[in-house]
Amino acid sequence: MKLIQFGPYGKEKPGLLTEAGVRKDLSSKLARYDREFFNQGGLAQLAELKDSLDSLPTVADDVRWGAPIARPGKVICIGLNYADHAEESGMEVPTEPIIFFKGSNTVVGPYDEIQIPRKSEKTDWEVELGIVIGKDARYLESESDAAQYIAGYCISHDVSERHFQLERGGQWVKGKSCDTFNPVGPFVTTCDEITDVDNLAMELDVNGERMQTGNTKTMVFKPNYLVYYLSQFMTLEAGDLISTGTPPGVGLGMNPPKFLKTTDKIRLSIEGLGEQRQTCVDA
């Protein structure tokens, strides 16, 4: 299944995307894709609705695509999780996952504008595989347990302001948590529709020029391991979002470095998870 949300920011309604690419309105059946929905077996209930989608209202083409999950309790990010990206950043491949957080209010829709922050010098792009947690997870006993705690996968655009992140002292969070810095979607694909999450092609273009070409097979720490690992330090709540790192090709790693500016247009995609498009504007 492909979970979507639609409507004005902060008032999104839930839906499903059919195999024909039609958005169907499920707001008469449930409120939103949030912690309560996932913890109460919502995905199983959705599966029962698949055969009756034709009878549900169709979402008009001009209605905004929202992030496909409600505002998550946590947005957890993994740094330097691609060996080739660590190399371009001039940093060693980590021996344990590098964990940092983004503000949960950074999550916006896949086609919303990206706001270049005031006083920004180095706003950068990062296409990432997102993991959506399907039920609360705490102290998982093994990596093999993790799969049953994953609801699905999505594109997560981990926009970053490198000057804020790396040159202003303190933790990375202030370079990661600017408004609009995490477009998500266009949909969450449930695990049963992903043949091999460890082998998905990824790409990102800026103004029609290819910047990132990668594959999840070069991840240092794979999705199941990340869920297991994180559960040793914190309770992962249903609906939480994990951004799993980016392949090479970010602006910071170029010679000379290249960063986003107002009017730039970004397109990014991950195999089986659709495509995002954003335009940069002044905050």
What pLDDT score was predicted for residue 88?
Answer: 74
* 135 and 25 assigned to the same domain: no
Terminal alpha carbon distance of the chain: 35
Interatomic CA distance for residues 100 and 236, integer angstroms: 14
Give me the pLDDT at residue 138, please. 98
* Percent of the chain at pLDDT exceeding 70: 100
Q: Buried b / exposed e across 25-40, counting CB within 10 Å, b at 16+?
A: bbbeebebbbbebbee
Q: What is the pLDDT of residue 71?
A: 96
Backbone angles phi, psi at 102, to 5 degrees: -115, 155
Burial 257-276 (b: 16+ CB within 10 A, else e): ebbbeeebebbbbbeebbeb
**Residue whose entry in the numeric block shows the structure tokens 């995905």:** 43
The string of DSSP letters for 104-166 reads GGGEE-TTSPEEEPTT-S-EE--EEEEEEE-S-B-S-S-GGGGGGGEEEEEEEE--EEHHHHH
40 and 97 part of one domain: no
Q: Quick one: CA dihedral 152, 43, 233, 242, positive or negative? A: positive
Q: Characterize the bridge pairing of strands 127-133 and 65-66.
A: unpaired
Last residue of a domain, one of 22, 42, 65: 65
* Together in a domain, 14 and 106: no
Q: How confident is the model at residue 86 (pLDDT cuts 50, 70, 90)?
A: confident
- Whole domain around residue 158: which residue ranges? 70-282
pTM: 0.96
Residues 219, 98, single domain; the answer is yes
> How does pLDDT run across 18-66, given as a tens digit for each residue?
999 999 999 999 999 999 999 999 999 898 887 788 889 999 999 999 9
Q: Are residues 231 and 172 in the same domain?
A: yes
- Residue 215 burial (CB < 10 Å; 0-12/13-18/19+)? middle
pLDDT band at residue 90, thresholds of 50, 70 and 90?
confident
Which pLDDT score, from 0 to 100, does residue 54 have?
Answer: 84
Structural domains in the chain (count): 2
Residue 279 CA to residue 207 CA, distance in Å, equals: 10
Q: Name the phi and psi angles at 225, rounded to 5.
A: -65, -40
* Range with lowest mean pLDDT among 47-51, 139-143, 193-197, 278-282: 47-51
38, 175: one domain = no
Residues 91, 153: one domain? yes
Contacts of residues 166-174 at CB distance under 8 Å and 24 or more positions apart, as own/partner, are 171/100, 172/79, 172/100, 173/100, 173/101, 173/102, 173/103
Q: What is the identity of the amino acid at 1?
A: M
Q: Where does a domain end: 65, 83, 118? A: 65
Residues 238 and 268 in one domain: yes
CA distance 82 to 219: 5
- pLDDT tens-place string over residues 208-224: 999 999 999 999 999 99
Identify the CATH number of the domain in which residue 270 sits. 3.90.850.10
Q: pLDDT for 163-184, tens place per residue?
A: 999 888 888 899 999 999 999 9
Mean pLDDT over residues 116-145, rounded?
97
